[in-house]
A and B are shown apart, each in its own frame.
Chain A
Amino acid sequence: MARKLGFLVLLLCLTSICESAAIQPISDAHRSATLELVAPVDGSFASLEEAYEALRTFEILGIGKELNVRASTCSSVVDKLGSSSSLKDLFFALRANVLFKCEINEQVFLEIALRLKASVNDANSLLDFYYAIGSLRLIKDQTSEVDVFLADADGIFRSIKALSQSDGRWRYGPNNPVSSTYAAGIALETLAGVISLATSEIDQSLIGTLSNDIVKLFDGIEKYDDGAYYFDEKLVDAREHQGPLSATSSVVRGLTAFAAATSGSLNLPGNKIFGLAKFFLGIGIPGNAKDLYNQLDALACLESNRVSIPLILSLPATVLSLTEKDQLKVRVSTVLGSTAPPLSVKLTQAFSSDSKDASIIESQELKFDPEVDAHVLDALPKIVDVGNYVFVFETVLHDQEHKKVYATGGRTKVPIYVTGVIEVDNAEIAVLDSDLGSIETRKKLDLVGNNAISLSANHLQKLRLSIRLTTPLKHSFEPHQAFLKLIHETKVEHIFVLGNSGKQFEIILDFLGLVEKFSYLSGTYDIQLTVGDAVMENSFLRELGHIELDLPEPPEKATRPPPRPVDAYLRYGPKAEITHIFRAPEKRPPQELSLAFLGLVLVPLLGFLVGFSGGLSTYTFLISLTAFASRNEPEELPYINGPCHICDLVPSWHCGSSLTLCAFLVEVGSIRNVESTRFLGNLLDVCRAQNPFSPCFNLGQVEIILRKRENAFVRTMFGTRKHINEIWWAGLLDSVL
């Protein structure tokens, strides 16, 4: 898909070149575009001027009959003609009426004619003359009952002629100093009208000077490089500014009208008329209705004018395929595409566009084929191979009389593209030893199938790829594009151009010289071969396979491989979601356990109270019980002595309470190292000591207390405050005890 697209661009380019090189007469493309551009809005046109121009355009192209705009236009025509509207409105209403043929009362025409005649005599600006005389002419065409002829035609002719300038251009009015080419066209048309409306013959000397003016006007014509002629309006800032298209079209309209009205011949060169036709056709399809009307109306004037009728030579196809054996066809027609008089077309010269020296063929006459309505060259000359050529054609009219009527534009140069299927063979790829040049591995390439090759090479070897391309005429062919592309796994691409070595195309890659370029990147490189040319019908892009390259380690100061391009599209699209990881809730003993130990903690108090009230027997029992529970060093208990049995009770109660608390802590996991809590058995010592840190305090106890503080410290860092409270409670209790 992707590789086809490249050639699509190529094709588009080719077709566009063809279009620009040879002009085509008006064709169906114009017709379809016109229907798009000149469509009435809601069944009617905005003004009568637009309606007339649209209808005229359709009439020239022979289309638009299905558009039903007559009713709406006619009502506005009748409306305009009935009222006392301006000269311009009258003119366009009459003009539209010519095409629509609305039903107008003779009386209306009579009144208008009287009014127009009066205004012709009063008029002094060019446009007033134009509208008034144009209207009179239109009335003359529409009815024969009304007298529209001008008695003082000479006088009117002179007053219009008074506005002309020495260079053939005209002024719009006596008070307007600016001269304009567009006005010249209008003036010519008006004067042609005056001549046709004159009751008596116009003074021939007046017509003679006018003919001279026209020749002068044509002296100021502008020219494009391709031979197209046009009139340009010099004044840019004026409000009546007209583009080259409308100025040229106005002159053409005036010129043909004048030539039709007079009998004398105008001494204008045929190539200028041909150049004007070339200008109008070279525009292609204009973009708006006004331009389209100007173009087509002018072409219609040229189609049947009395000066000279241009004949257009066009080629249906300028891309010819050698493989398909396409015939060279040439069509000659008038500007609007109607058939030309009998003539023959000669191919006088042909040369390759690269070397513009000698012609490669003899002059040849093309045979007219009435079936395809074109002049056909049966087969291209044997010497014409694929490539770009310029063919020179010449049109020769059979009838001598026609040579005065028609303008053929002399020789026509047409670029021709001859394409063909290029034969690809002898494609092979080889790995060579650098020193000896001996072949290590050699593989034939199958460019039709899809079998991938796999090669391996190190930096002391070379890769050679060769391919032979031959044209249909068995000449060696040199495409514009012959690339070998090596693509590393990391998408780094290296492109090499295949060179021409006599009979074949080849490239030798010396990896030793390329290690720098390859940035010392060893690994798999995909091999891609692209061969393409504008005239090659079977251009291709083929994946050949891969080569395993073993390159040396990069030295210290080697350039880093280029960074991989970042995909700009990664910015878009959703990112991975992020959820916050909350701190785990602290581990707490189940409520039952806490309550059970609360009970247990209260048991020693109970024991104390019982002992307190019950006497020594219970006390002794408790002592032995506690001694058993503390497992270790029960022998310390007998050290308890004292005269007061109440006093003796207190430590044992206390000891019991502490042991329970300790058991609770062990149970809930707050104290892990049970060994280290053994000192609780020594609580009695602690109890006896007035000051916990007095010298009699043994080392083990200090260590444990410190350990607990440290434990608490660690928990301040990570744990919750509640835990710390507990620890402090425990530590405090211990120190108090």
Chain B
Amino acid sequence: MARLSLIVLITIIPFISTLCSSFSPENPTDRRILVLLDDLALQSSHSLYFSSLQSRGYALDFKLADDSKIGLQRYGQYLYDGLILFCPSIDRFGGSIDSAAIVDFVDSGHDLIIAVDNSASERIREIATECGVDFDDAPVLFQGMGHSLNPANSLVLKALSASSSAYSANPKTKLSNPPSLTGSAISLVSVVQARNNARVLIAGSLSMFSNRFFRSGVQKAGSSIKHAKSGNEQFLTELSKWVFHERGHLKAVNVRHHKVGETDEPAMYRINDDLEYAVEIYEWSGKSWEPYVANDVQVQFYMMSPYVLKTLSTDQKGLYFTAFKVPDVYGVFQFKVEYQQLGYTSLSLSKQIPVRPFRHNEYERFLTAAFPYYGASFSMMAGFFIFTFAYLYNK
């Protein structure tokens, strides 16, 4: 294996360097995508899907999965922003790619689409399991394969789940034992959004990406409505937009906070201060950053647990703001925005800010309620003085 990768290093020819603008935080849509295929004929039979990607500006690099020249990175730099694995039966990737390399690729924030069919190989299963998806062994009544989601993995979600009457079994053999997967527990297409916002799409069917499935008409059993085209194209196009960060990518900028009536950000707040907090959130539309409109963005004033959790008001133009009073507890607090919305990248902002108690001279000086005491003591002093004076000099 080591020798193999060495050969790859030597023989690798300079490629993909003249491609258009690449992935960056300012422009989160992927640009360069490596497509690994079992058979180059897929390029033609699934061309509608690929051309919809190409028409949206992606540079697709088609390679056979066992091509010895493929590699995801060179000199520590990733050559691609996204990876499409349309090679369900591959046993061993060519070049320097293996399942660990693919998992590393995702770990470093890159996106992945996996499609399998009935012949999902161990290698592909391994990658899917890393993402929290287990393929059921038997094929189901779907041109492909259902899978179950690992309940312990909260990052993986069903994008397309089977209906309540579905079950996962081999249609050619008689059922004697209850099927292990039934109903909506069967996931047909799953998506994963990792904590670093890398996105993975795992589909149980490779054919659902094919031109034939894109174009074939659908009629529900028992219904007279005939759809001229299946929903595959729309569904998968929208999903690919999501996976490659054309949609649902948020950024937060301009986080600021200050005391009411001031504009400068203080280094520290005092307990019971009134403060204002504002943040601007934008959504990537594929071309530009548009204001993000929602009404459920919340800020926390946090020290070990949230002391204040408040929903931010918005001006519908991307600005989210609120005002609240600093709690009467001092310590090192954080402003935290933990925004998790289905389908969007998660926003996680935190800003540390200490809160101090009153200084000794910031308390009230004279209390009206204590006036009787003051009166009593001072009257005593005065009386004693008069008494002493009288006692000494009287007579």
Residues of chain A having any CB pair with chain B under 8 Å = 2-13, 15-16, 19, 29, 33, 243-245, 283-288, 291, 478, 480-481, 483, 485, 493, 495-497, 530, 532, 534, 537, 539, 541, 565-566, 568-569, 571-580, 582-583, 588-589, 591, 594-595, 597-598, 600-602, 604-605, 608-609, 612, 646, 650, 653-654, 657-658, 660-661, 664, 668, 721-722, 725-726, 729-730, 733
Contacts and interface: CB of A to CB of B under 8 A. Distances in A.
Interface in B312-330: 324-325, 327-329
Contacts of A571: 154, 340
Given A480-B175, A725-B370, A566 B164 contact: no
A654 B380 contact: yes
Given A9-B142, A534-B141, A480 B367 contact: no
B352 interface: no
Nearest to A606: B379
B296 interface: yes
Contacts of A16: 143, 207, 212-213, 216
Given A8-B221, A578-B306, A588-B369, A244 B165 contact: no
Contacts of A591: 368
8 contacts: A8-B163, A16-B213, A287-B48, A571-B340, A572-B341, A594-B369, A729-B373, A729-B377
B220 A7 contact: yes
B383 A573 contact: no
Contacts of A33: 211, 215
B165 A532 contact: yes
Nearest to B142: A9
Contact of B162 (A9, A605, A609): A9
Nearest to B179: A495
B391 A287 contact: no
A399 B218 CA distance: 41
B190 to A, nearest CB: 11
A726 B374 CA distance: 10
Interface residues of B, number: 87
Contact of B166 (A9, A608, A730): A9
Contact of B171 (A480, A541, A602, A726): A480
Report, nearest first, the 7 A-B pairs whose CB atoms are least far apart. Answer: A287-B47, A5-B163, A6-B165, A578-B309, A574-B296, A7-B221, A6-B163
A580 B327 contact: yes
Nearest to B213: A16
B370 A729 contact: yes
Given A11-B218, A480-B169, 20 more contacts: A2-B163, A2-B164, A6-B165, A7-B221, A10-B221, A12-B142, A12-B218, A243-B41, A285-B212, A287-B43, A288-B44, A291-B44, A495-B178, A537-B221, A541-B165, A572-B340, A597-B372, A612-B387, A646-B387, A668-B369
B141 A10 contact: yes
A588 B40 contact: no
B383 A605 contact: yes
B4 interface: no
B311 interface: yes
B178 to A, nearest CB: 4
B157 interface: yes
A298 to B, nearest CB: 15
A287 B50 contact: yes
Nearest to B50: A287
Nearest to A241: B40
Contacts of A285: 211-212, 215
Given A7-B222, A580-B327, A733-B373, A287 B179 contact: no
B2 interface: no
A517 to B, nearest CB: 11
Contacts of B391: 646
Contacts of A595: 368, 371
B19 interface: no
B336 to A, nearest CB: 12
Interface in B370-395: 370-377, 379-380, 382-383, 386-387, 390-391, 394
A583 B386 contact: no
Interface string B286-311: 00000000001010110000111111
A15 B227 CA distance: 14
Contact of A565 (B141, B151, B178, B218): B151
Contacts of A496: 178
Interface in B99-144: 141-143
B234 interface: no
Contact of A574 (B40, B311, B328): B311
B119 to A, nearest CB: 15
A287 B51 contact: yes
Contacts of B325: 580, 582
Contacts of B44: 243, 245, 283, 286-288, 291
A578 B218 contact: no
A580 B377 contact: no
Q: Chain A contact residues: over half helix, strand or loop, or mixed?
A: helix
Contacts of A541: 164-165
Contacts of B375: 597-598, 601-602
A730 B373 contact: yes
Interface in B158-196: 162-167, 169, 171, 174-179, 182-184
A220 B372 CA distance: 118
B349 to A, nearest CB: 16
A660 B372 contact: yes
A580 B308 contact: yes
A601 B56 CA distance: 88
B218 A8 contact: yes
Nearest to A498: B175
Given A12-B230, A16-B212, A578-B307, A661 B373 contact: yes
A729 B371 CA distance: 11
Contacts of B143: 12-13, 16
Contacts of A19: 212, 216
Contacts of A8: 163, 218, 220-221
A13 B163 contact: no
A495 B164 CA distance: 13
B45 interface: yes
Contacts of B307: 578, 580
Contacts of B22: none
A495 B387 CA distance: 101
Contacts of B380: 605, 654, 657
B24 interface: no
B379 A657 contact: yes
B323 to A, nearest CB: 13
B221 A722 contact: no
Contacts of A243: 40-41, 44
Nearest to A292: B44
Contacts of A539: 165, 221
Nearest to B167: A481
B219 interface: yes
A478 B296 CA distance: 53
A109 B219 CA distance: 57
Contacts of A11: 218-221
Contacts of B364: 722
B1 interface: no
A245 B44 CA distance: 10
B46 interface: yes
Given A483-B182, A495-B179, A577-B311, A612 B328 contact: no
Contact of A594 (B166, B301, B308, B368): B368
A612 B390 CA distance: 9
A582 B328 contact: yes
A615 to B, nearest CB: 13
A497 B370 CA distance: 84
Given A12-B143, A286-B44, A572-B342, A3 B163 contact: yes
Contacts of A569: 157, 342
Contacts of B254: none
Contacts of A579: 308, 310, 324
Interface string B23-53: 0000000000000000011011111101100
Contacts of A729: 370, 373, 377
